Chains A and B, each alone.
Chain A
Amino acid sequence: MGNSEAIAAAFDGGPAYVPYLVVGDPDYDSSKAYVEALDRGGADVIELGLPFSEPIAEGSTIQEALVRSLDAEMTPDRFFAFAEEVDVDAALVCMTYYNLIYQYGDSEARSASEASGEAASTGPRPFVERAAAAGIEGLVVPDLPGEEADPLREACDEFGLDLVFIVAPTTRGDRLDELMGRVSGYVYVQARLGTTGARDDVSNQTTESLDRLREYDVPKAVGFGISTGEHAERIVAGGADGIIVGSALVDVVADGVENDRSTADVADRLEALSRELKEGAERGYRSRAETVESA
């Protein structure tokens, strides 16, 4: 189930490695090199963060990255240009907050409506149309729960994008059913409560969440707190179809900024960490296959 074939393919026949970086962090050109490094490191889907000024679902690592990007004048239009220019094999997903989606194209709509005298047709459609044209295959919108998502869902179906929802450890019962009825592409399984941020350990809430989701036929990618190959291995061995890694990678970018490292150096580090995460995921997948065989 899903609109994007590229995303479906990414989860087909092996664990998907889904890294996240903020576009424009710390500047447009460096972040292009970084995203391409993730791709070389084995990314199957790349989540590209489009910065919003009030990222309430983000912990301090990503929050600061979003600020760096905004300071470097990232805008939705430059973001789309980036998606068009970046040279990667992985499927691209845009992660951003609803106000940017809702607002995009709104000023045009407003001036047109002022000219015609009719009410402005605001809504998510212009953003999704532009994203599709830029080669974006899906959207993740952390401040948009299923309840408010129908207009965006419709626009995504119209333009062939997947709409990924986050399932939290607190999501149960009817809410879970409803959310899973709206999701497409993959479901983002939030490994623990709270905001994004790398952790030394990954939560055992993950296993519980994966158990609850077993009956739903959608790829399950686990995120929030994964930072090493060993985490990745454990999460995939525990039944995840993919891993999402954000803060640990953004930390590498932040370290480059703090220590004034060259773009090439940071890109190499990102590629190496990506490879470690991807290999960890693959080990986890193999051990799962072996367990199944020996059972």
Chain B
Amino acid sequence: MSETESSTSEVGELSRRPGRERGRDDGKFGRYGGQYVPEALMPAIEELADAYERYVLNNEDGFMDEFRERIADFGGRPTPLQRADRLSERYDTEVYLKREDLLHGGAHKLNNALGQVLLAKYMGKERIIAETGAGQHGTATAMAAAHLDMPCTIYMGERDINRQRPNVFRMKLNGSEVKPVTTGRGTLKEAISETMRDWAETVEDTHYVIGSIVGPHPFPVMVRDFQAIISEEAREQVIERTGGLPTDVVACAGGGSNTMGTFADFVDDESVALHAVEAGGSTLEVDEETGVAPNSASLYTGDEGVLHGARTKLLQDSDGQIMESHSISSGLDYAGVGPELAYLVDEGRVDPVAVDDDAALEGFHRLSNTEGIIPALETAHAFGYLEEHHEELGERVVVNVSGRGDKDLDAAIEETDQRDVANAPDMSMFTGGM
């Protein structure tokens, strides 16, 4: 399809959004998805599926109206679509940035957290629990819970607590309880398991706000629908700005909520290439001996399996044991990925790519010093991809800036110190003061 065919008349058809029908009724995306959870959780999941249909899909009691109003007033939507002049020049292509880093809390995570906490309220639940990796989802959930006056407990891996102290403080500032998880390597995977254990005990009055498009149905579709507001706006904005669709859309993928949120309304635009950028970590090779994948590239290198309630692509060994993953960014450090993305990759609709820690760190510095935007280390992977692959991209690229990097400054200083990053600032004269 050529650019001329994608005219502004498409804006008028936005409301239909057939791309969002996928997985809605049965939670299946081809062979992926489903509901693999302990029986004790099944009634709650059915109750949630019912609430999703009534409130989110059918706007019962004006739920979606209230959500839209709050995500505008409290959240600060719509976020801008900004042209990145220096990057456009550098790559000789038009680069547009969808500024989710300007959403309240500093990341796209609030779209989903606010949606789910509000839904819990409509469902009459009394307590919120959540897991968090980078602390971004935990922070967003803590903010939404404070805003809507719900008590909230957040599970976070011990290792991630050490990497993301500012976010731990923010969660506590907002009145949430933060519970450290010490099992395994103390990252997102373990935090999800621990939150599911809490939920199994408290399911009757508690809602689990899962942080990505992972988990049992209806979470993957529901989280996608809350996050799809990113692509809904981006698509309208880019058409309005340029008169046409982008050639490429780029977003980083951990669990995949940022990716699906950014892709959702472009999936049916076949001319638009969709690139999901995963954390390549230190290498894509897997250490079978220690059961460690020094990356988090489950779309790129993973195998089909069942984890945390869904069948999807996973980093696992030949027996089916889940591997410990790695990434410089805690928000991408997860051995699984959303079932919808796994499906779209198999269908050839989404292009899975991996960017390693070094390239992500360069991306972090590049966006900071060329555009004046300090991105989250998660987001920086998308810019690492741009640097490495810009020659393969078309003439108009939209990149989602999924979050801002304030939370990552400590980690970025430490990681930069350990490497020879060409475009990093020279801090040697300030070392005493840091």
Contact = CB atoms under 8 A, between A and B. Distances in A.
B123 interface: no
- The residue among B202, B303, B319 with the most chain A CB atoms within 10 A of its own CB is B319
A137 B322 CA distance: 27
A52 interface: yes
Contacts of B197: 56, 58-59, 194-195
Nearest to B321: A53
Interface in A92-122: 97-104, 106-107, 122
Name the prevailing secondary structure of the B interface residues.
Answer: mixed
A234 B200 CA distance: 25
Nearest to A190: B40
Interface string B35-61: 111111011101000000000000000
Interface in B131-162: none
A8 to B, nearest CB: 23
B298 to A, nearest CB: 14
Interface string A25-68: 00000000000000000000000000011111111000100010
B394 interface: no
Nearest to A167: B39
Interface in B97-115: none
B319 A193 contact: no
A103 B314 CA distance: 11
B307 to A, nearest CB: 6
B256 to A, nearest CB: 18
A91 interface: no
A170 B203 contact: yes
Contacts of B35: 145, 147-148
Interface residues of B, number: 36
B36 A168 contact: no
B38 A76 contact: no
Interface string B185-211: 000010001001100111110000000
B259 interface: no
Contacts of A75: 319
A58 B44 CA distance: 19
Interface stretch (A171-179, A267-275, A283-291): A171-179
Contact of B304 (A122, A142, A146, A148): A122
B320 A104 contact: yes
B34 interface: yes
Nearest to A149: B36
B39 A103 contact: no
A177 B258 CA distance: 39
B404 to A, nearest CB: 31
Contacts of B257: none
B43 A172 contact: yes
B316 A103 contact: yes
B308 interface: yes
Interface of A: 52-59, 63, 67, 70, 75-76, 97-104, 106-107, 122, 142-148, 165-172, 175, 179, 190, 193-195
Interface of B: 34-40, 42-44, 46, 183-184, 189, 193, 196-197, 200-204, 303-309, 314, 316, 318-322
Listed from nearest, the 6 A-B pairs whose CB atoms lie closest are: A103-B320, A194-B201, A168-B40, A57-B38, A170-B43, A100-B320
